[in-house]
Structure formats: C-alpha cells, structure tokens
Structure 1
C-alpha cells in the first residue's frame, strides 16, 4: 500500500492508494454532513478494529488528523483516509449511502469479509 495522497476525481487506478471506493451517493452525503459541520479540515476515516461477535468491526467517522502511514484518496472533494493496519482488510471495499423507506445510512461492501454476525455489525 502507498502513503500517497491523490487528488482529483477518483478512478479505479486512483483507489490503489488504499483500495477503498466511495460511491457518488456516499460522497454527496459526506459533503452535506461536512457542510453542516462548517469545517473544511475533516476527512472521512474508515478503519477496522477488533470487536463485535465476529471479531472485527468497522469504524467510519470524521477525523481532522492525518497519521503516519495513512493512505488517502480524494473523491471529488471528499478525502477518504485508511490507516496502514486497516488497509489490507479493506482493499476493494465500497462505501455507499442508502436512503430508502426501509433504510438510511452508510453501508460498506467488503469482498474481504468471509462472514459476519447475525446483526451485521461485525465481520471476520
């Protein structure tokens, strides 16, 4: 994995910095949330932490920090950060935002997850 920060519109080649893709719907929602915060120094951080029924949980939050070893990709003004320990677990993952009558929220489709718990909050 590279420590390179890429800018501009993300393409499949750009996502190699950390392997995570942010859909247009998710980018739009993140921009809206950042506008509400009134801050321009925040990035969207996706991380994997030990926990949950299946062993690993996702952490998705705004972060002002850029730590040593972080990889970043800019998706048309929304910077997504992944730390070097989480990157192997998230390579190929897609962050999306669903807004339907049944569900509203961010989803993470991760091809590296071999299974998840019944509640869907953790994976292994």
Structure 2
C-alpha cells in the first residue's frame, strides 16, 4: 500500500515531484541521524546506466541557480532545472517490506527501464 502524497501549501509545484508521507518520514529520520538541519533532498536525473538515464537522490546543502524547491511538511525537495522535465509528475516513496527496502520513484515520463531497474529512458 502506497501512502498518499503530501500536499504543499505553495499554490504552484515548482518541480512536479511528489513525496509520500513514508518517504518524508524516512528523510526526516536520516536527517536526524546526520544531525544537520541545513540539508535538502536533491533529486536529479543524470546520463548513465544501460537505458541512458539514472536517478540520483542525495542530501545537499547547496541551492544552485535554476533549482526548483518544494517543502513537504519540513522536508525540502530540490530539483535542478535540467531534471525538471524528466521528473514532472514523479512520486518518491519509501518501501520497508520483506521484498523491498528503499526509496522508489514512480515516474510517468519513463518509457522503459533496463532489466536491473537502475536506469530508464
């Protein structure tokens, strides 16, 4: 079962990425372990993998020119300007089951992925 995506109080979503409550809770937990309150979750698309593009999720203290940001109940998600079209409408979730543990990205813009699931096109 997937949690519903959090809503943002901003009238316009700057980058179109949604973060589920389960993902937001996991990010908050990881940030608490880091002991820092100046980090944001950066989501990016980069060339690589067998299908051409790979996702990158990491904590970043920087806010670069062209970055788009949305706050999900205290978790700021930033996307660089070049990645926005590839991620518009994507949902980031966190799964913690016997079969799967980790962040997942459901991206309607991905027309296909490789067999290992690490890259898309």
Same fold (TM over 0.5): yes
For residue 106 of structure 2, the aligned residue among 100, 105, 109 is 109
- Unaligned 5+ segments in structure 2 are 1-5
Is residue 2:39 matched to residue 1:70? no
Task: State the alpha-carbon separation in 2 of the partners of residues 119 and 49 from structure 1.
Answer: 17
Aligned length: 116
Judge conservation of contact 1:48–1:89 (CA < 8 Å) in 2: yes
- Please give the root-mean-square deviation of Cα atoms over the aligned residues, in Å: 1.5
| Alpha-carbon displacement from aligned partner over 1:51-100 (angstroms, at most 9, x marks no partner) | 00000000000000000000000000000000000000000000000000
For residue 47 of structure 1, the aligned residue among 27, 44, 47 is 44
Task: State the alpha-carbon separation in 1 of the partners of residues 10 and 109 from structure 2.
Answer: 19
**C-alpha deviation, 1:101, in angstroms:** 1.1
Large movers: runs of 4+ above 6 Å: none
Equivalence for 1:86: 83
Judge conservation of contact 2:8–2:73 (CA < 8 Å) in 1: no
Task: State the alpha-carbon separation in 1 of the partners of residues 7 and 69 from structure 2.
Answer: 11
Q: Normalization by structure 2: what TM-score?
A: 0.92
Q: Normalization by structure 1: what TM-score?
A: 0.89
Is residue 2:117 matched to residue 1:120? yes
